[in-house]
Structure 1
Amino acid sequence: MLNLNSPDSDGNSNSLRDPVSLNVGGEIYTTTLDTLTRCRDSMLGAMFTGQIPALRDRWGNIFIDRDGKVFRYILNYLRSSSLDLPDAFAELTLLRREADFFQIRPLLEEIRRCEVSMPLSLRGGPLGAMLMVDVDCKVRVLHFNLRQGPENYELHTCSVRVFTVDLFCTWRAFVAMLCERLSYQTSQGLRSPHPCNPRLNRLKLEWVPRPEELPQDQYDKQRYQGLTVSEPEVTQLHSDDIMNTRQSPHEIRDMQGFVEELLTVSLAEGFRVDSVTPDPKDILNCSSLQLVKG
């Protein structure tokens, strides 16, 4: 290896000058020292400020034994401070690995944000992944006092339905995606559910839709919460058919609505229904459901 700042055998300096030619895994790139040292605390920053020795190929290019095709996006990020990926980019995991190798921390943060927003179908997913869901609904009778005057209270009774879901999936990214799509509706606003399994494979949900006869203050007093799902809503902005997508939440008021939503999402991600209990012909009224990806 040659130190970029040390003299060569003829006494000439090997310190680099612009433009700089790189051979990354067989792909040749030409750029500037300013671009390569944009992140000073990265491996590239250390390499091109002489802190780390570098290797040259037979043509004099600085050689880096990493994935050459993905390096294109790393170099473009250093040039513009923007992560620009083509539509349906399918190598985000590889790009993250390369950004981690070069220790470009701002790029790693951009990739993480991109992973969260990218559809799961573009992130892949293991064939044979299993999704198991148990659902239940219990009816509770609630008694409460309703004020009719300064010292006049009447005892009222109403029934509430308590829905519970116990969901387990061997594909963790799917559970994370559900947590992003679903929200609890509380008196303090919307709140995202969190997986109860430390390894993020299991999600438990419990929600109570508010019946019309139950006043909002009594509903809040019981610390009940609803469940909403966010779906893309497409609106036309201009006459030239430019469209905009935003998230519009709606409330899930029964178990059939939840099962329908779950099926919509899971089937879009490549799952297929494997078993339904108790009646396979009445899937929306099931008590347990199992799906397999593949």
Structure 2
Amino acid sequence: MLNLNSPDDNSNRNSLQDPVSLNVGGEIYTTTLDTLTRCRDSMLGAMFTGQIPVLRDNAGNVFIDRDGRVFRYILNYLRSSSLDLPDGFSELNLLRREADFYQIHPLLEEIRHYEASVALGLRGGPLGAMVIVNFDSKVRVLHFNLRHGPENYELCTCSVRAFTVDLFCTWGAFLALLCERFSYRTSQGLTSPQPCNLGQSRLKLEWVPRPDELPQDQYDKQRYRGLFVINLEATRSDDTINMHQGPCEITNMQTFVEELLKVSLAEGFKVDLVTPDTAEILNCTSLRLVKG
């Protein structure tokens, strides 16, 4: 027999005390109110702050008539803010449906990223895979004529900063991901960088952000190109995964290092060596990452 507590019943809130026991589709879980209300705007947040009624089973456990097996992954996400799935996890559709039912939007976003990684063949990968990156930047001074009229020219000077990243990776699929994540913008539009060698183990990126004082035609004349990060977001329609791209320009090396670390750590890499100072990783000249 199930008992229904009204959200207006003060005894409902008083009865919700740590630890909380839940019966989810026949599976019993024990956790805390803090964990269950971690996402306040979710259905669980509403249930365990007294905004909507809760059901109880004969043993007094809060009862939720949903799939009990995948709820463990939802609960662990609320505990750690990390989506941890076993290798070969085959119930992603069910997990996404349950996360949507509970309206846990950050978890839905994590699932979308997970699907994108699966689509690119990145889940798993060889342990001990290594990424070695060297960073460099130089200031160049340009002189150009700025035309004000038919015979009226002004000699102008402008400084630009040229960035270079030389990256070596022993895992080809990860290098392919980087080529998907970063793109050059030229006068012809966005284009993906390509590995430097047939073995697809080395990637060299060179770009120059255009300063405001440098006219676009002069920038193009120098054959400079900008570098953009492409934020991949996967959405599913039936069995099709669609990638939506939102380019954002990289105007300094710190932003590039931050994006590189974001992608690398998400794929299981760990920082192994930072030169010259570990405490200044965003300003480093070289970096080594190892997949753990």
**Length-normalised TM-score, structure 1:** 0.56
What residue number does 2:264 align with? Answer: 266
What residue number does 1:287 align with? Answer: 285
Q: Closer, same or farther in 2 for the Cα pair 1:267/1:154, shift >3 Å?
A: same
Give the secondary-structure state (helix, strand or coil) at the position aligned to 2:270: strand
Q: Closer, same or farther in 2 for the Cα pair 1:262/1:116, shift >3 Å?
A: closer
The yes-or-no answer on 1:167 pairing with 2:167 is yes
Runs in 1 of length 4+ with deviation above 2 angstroms? 85-89, 114-117, 119-122, 232-235
User: How far does residue 149 in structure 1 lie from its aligned partner after superposition?
Assistant: 1.1
The equivalences for 1:51-200 within 5 A come to: 118-122=119-123, 124-200=124-200
Q: Closer, same or farther in 2 for the Cα pair 1:250/1:278, shift >3 Å?
A: same
Q: 2:245 aligns with which of 244, 247, 262?
A: 247
Alpha-carbon distance between aligned partners in 2 of 1:191 and 1:257, rounded to the nearest angstrom: 20
**Length-normalised TM-score, structure 2:** 0.57
Does the aligned pair in 1 maintain the 2:181–2:232 contact within 8 Å? no
Alpha-carbon distance between aligned partners in 2 of 1:193 and 1:87, rounded to the nearest angstrom: 35
User: How far does residue 201 in structure 1 lie from its aligned partner after superposition?
Assistant: 0.6
Alpha-carbon distance between aligned partners in 2 of 1:153 and 1:211, rounded to the nearest angstrom: 20
User: How far does residue 180 in structure 1 lie from its aligned partner after superposition?
Assistant: 1.1
Does the aligned pair in 1 maintain the 2:274–2:287 contact within 8 Å? yes
Give the residue type in structure 1 aligned to 2:231: E
Does the aligned pair in 2 maintain the 1:232–1:247 contact within 8 Å? yes
The yes-or-no answer on 1:230 pairing with 2:230 is yes
Alpha-carbon distance between aligned partners in 2 of 1:119 and 1:214, rounded to the nearest angstrom: 38
Alpha-carbon distance between aligned partners in 2 of 1:148 and 1:86, rounded to the nearest angstrom: 65
Query: How well do the aligned residues superpose, as a CA RMSD in angstroms?
Result: 2.5
Give the residue type in structure 2 aligned to 1:164: T
Does the aligned pair in 2 maintain the 1:120–1:269 contact within 8 Å? no
The C-alpha deviation readout for 1:106-133, integer Å capped at 9, x for no partner, is: xxxxxxxx999715542x1100111000
Give the secondary-structure state (helix, strand or coil) at the position aligned to 2:125: coil
User: How far does residue 246 in structure 1 lie from its aligned partner after superposition?
Assistant: 2.3
Alpha-carbon distance between aligned partners in 1 of 2:130 and 2:245, rounded to the nearest angstrom: 28
Give the residue type in structure 1 aligned to 2:119: M
Q: How many residues align?
A: 177
Does the aligned pair in 2 maintain the 1:279–1:286 contact within 8 Å? yes
Give the secondary-structure state (helix, strand or coil) at the position aligned to 2:138: strand
User: How far does residue 197 in structure 1 lie from its aligned partner after superposition?
Assistant: 1.5
What residue number does 1:74 align with? Answer: none
Alpha-carbon distance between aligned partners in 1 of 2:234 and 2:171, rounded to the nearest angstrom: 29
What residue number does 2:202 align with? Answer: 202
User: How far does residue 232 in structure 1 lie from its aligned partner after superposition?
Assistant: 3.9
The C-alpha deviation readout for 1:128-159, integer Å capped at 9, x for no partner, is: 11100001000000000000111010000010
The C-alpha deviation readout for 1:246-291, integer Å capped at 9, x for no partner, is: 2211111110010000000000000000010011100000000001
Give the residue type in structure 1 aligned to 2:126: P
Larger Rg: 1 or 2?
Answer: 1
Alpha-carbon distance between aligned partners in 2 of 1:273 and 1:291, rounded to the nearest angstrom: 5
Q: Any gaps of 5 or more consecutive residues in structure 1?
A: 1-84, 90-113, 236-243
Alpha-carbon distance between aligned partners in 1 of 2:145 and 2:283, rounded to the nearest angstrom: 34
User: How far does residue 292 in structure 1 lie from its aligned partner after superposition?
Assistant: 0.4
